[in-house]
């Protein structure tokens, strides 16, 4: 979904940076690119992607703000930094948010205009995104002085500003993801205070099986015509009944969970149909097209 939204924004002329927090290469692959690495990597006009890694984030942070030279992992000092970054709660999550905030603030050297119009972040799983977004708030209770406090205050304000930051919830039409999306919204609202603007129900099955479809199926397998129908169609149509049953079930399930989301979430719920292709740029384009038609 992050990749599809990135494509849509790039098509609309925005300069887009897509960030993969899990750094597993999924986002780059969905944009038809090899694994991107820590620096923004151009995947097409107006669209770049980068993958976050905590240790590199921390070193870059020190390098940017405090001119501390980049360190190899082997130096004792680097290991101390690693410890702080990954062991002590708060800073680890802050680094993720801090890197994103840094990219948000970056300016073109010549014109001074922002490098990116829009940054889209493919977040970690539900529990982690919550701790990422609430990290600045938590850090403010921990860091009462020092240079970092000013940075953290700025990042905390960025997260809470609904004109600059919003969350797009994503769910599948299944019990667990829907429950998690509703609970995550509740926790985000009470925790980080970030705006949650829209919920996307992905892999929705939105075409119902009608009586006309069922009637045709019954006729196709009616013993009176079965042989001649099978001969004309090149095979027995009997198995097609299973396709209709599954479609009907998935349609009902989608409708039920869409209703549940709409009743529990104070925001638009956009259903995006299930695209059958493999993960990759083709699928991302198809999802982007579907999303575009739904959003418009």
Partner 1 sequence: MSADEVAPVPERRRTVRNEPAGLGRNLASLEVVICCGSGGVGKTTVSAALGLAIAAAEDKRVLVLTVDPARRLATALGIKGIGAEPVRIPKARLRRAGIAMTGELEAAMLDMKQAWDRMIERYAPDRATARRILSNPLYQRITDSFVGSHEYAAIEALYELHDAGEYDCIVVDTPPSRNALDFLEAPSRLTDYVGSRLLSLLSGGPSRFGFRAMNFAAAPFLRLADRLLGAEVLAEVSDFVRQLQSLYDGIQGRARSVYRLLRSPQTGFVVVTTLEQGPFGEAEFFCAKLREFKMPLRAVVVNRVLPDVFRDTGGVAAATTLVEDPKVAAWLSSELGARVSADVARFVGTTFLNRSTLAAREARQLSKLSRLGEVPIVRMPLFSEEVSELEGLVRIAKAL
Closer residue to partner 1 in complex, CB, 62/270: 62
Please pick, from the candidates 11, 26, 226, 294, the single residue that binds partner 1 as defined by CB under 8 A.
Answer: 26
Closest CA to 172 of 72, 295, 258, 287: 258
Query: Does 74 contact partner 1 by CB under 8 A?
Result: no
Query: Does 59 contact partner 1 by CB under 8 A?
Result: no
Q: How far is the CB of 67 from partner 1 (least distance, A)?
A: 11
Site string for partner 1, 155-194 (x = CB under 8 A): -----------------x-xxxx-xx--------------
Indicate the Cα dihedral angle 119, 122, 124, 125, nearest 10°: 130
Q: How far is the CB of 281 from partner 1 (least distance, A)?
A: 15
Q: Are 22 and 142 in contact (CB under 8 A)?
A: no
Query: Does 144 contact partner 1 by CB under 8 A?
Result: yes
- For partner 1, the binding residues in 246-285 under the rule CB under 8 A are 246-247, 249, 253, 276, 278-279
Q: How far is the CB of 104 from partner 1 (least distance, A)?
A: 21
For the record, the structure tokens of 4 come out as: 């599809």
Closer residue to partner 1 in complex, CB, 34/89: 89
Whole-angstrom distance between the N-terminal and C-terminal Cα of the chain? 17
Please pick, from the candidates 34, 162, 243, 268, the single residue that binds partner 1 as defined by CB under 8 A.
Answer: 243
Bridge partners (DSSP) listed for residue 270: 200
List b or e across 161-188, with b for residues whose CB sees 16 or more CB atoms inside 10 angstroms. eeeebebbbbbbbeeebbebbbebbeeb
Distance (Å, whole) CA 236 – CA 233: 7
Query: Does 67 contact partner 1 by CB under 8 A?
Result: no
């Amino acid at each position: 979904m992050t990749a599809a939204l990135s494509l849509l924004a790039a098509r609309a002329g925005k300069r887009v940076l897509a960030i993969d927090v899990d750094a597993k290469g999924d986002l780059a692959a969905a944009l038809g690119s090899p694994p991107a690495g820590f620096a923004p990597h151009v995947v097409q006009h107006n669209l770049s992607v980068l993958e976050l890694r905590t240790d590199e984030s921390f070193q870059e942070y020190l390098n940017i703000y405090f001119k501390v030279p980049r360190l190899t992992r082997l130096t004792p000092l680097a290991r101390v930094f690693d410890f702080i970054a990954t062991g002590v709660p708060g800073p680890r999550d802050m680094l993720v948010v801090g890197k994103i905030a840094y990219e948000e603030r970056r300016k073109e050297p010549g014109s001074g205009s922002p490098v990116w119009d829009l940054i889209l972040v493919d977040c970690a799983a539900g529990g982690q995104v919550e701790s990422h977004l609430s990290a600045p708030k938590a850090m403010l209770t921990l860091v009462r002085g020092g240079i970092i406090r000013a940075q953290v205050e700025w990042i905390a304000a960025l997260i809470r500003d609904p004109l600059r930051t919003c969350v797009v919830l994503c769910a599948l039409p299944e019990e667990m993801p829907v429950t998690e999306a509703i609970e995550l919204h509740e926790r985000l609202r009470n925790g980080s205070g970030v705006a949650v603007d829209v919920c996307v129900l992905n892999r929705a099955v939105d075409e119902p099986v009608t009586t006309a479809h069922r009637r045709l199926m019954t006729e196709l397998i009616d013993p009176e015509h079965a042989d001649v129908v099978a001969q004309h169609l090149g095979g027995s149509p009997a198995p097609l009944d299973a396709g209709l049953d599954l479609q009907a079930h998935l349609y009902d399930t989608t409708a039920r969970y869409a209703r549940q989301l709409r009743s529990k979430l104070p925001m638009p719920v956009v259903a995006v149909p299930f695209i059958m292709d493999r993960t990759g740029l083709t699928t991302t384009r198809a999802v982007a097209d579907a999303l575009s038609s739904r959003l418009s």
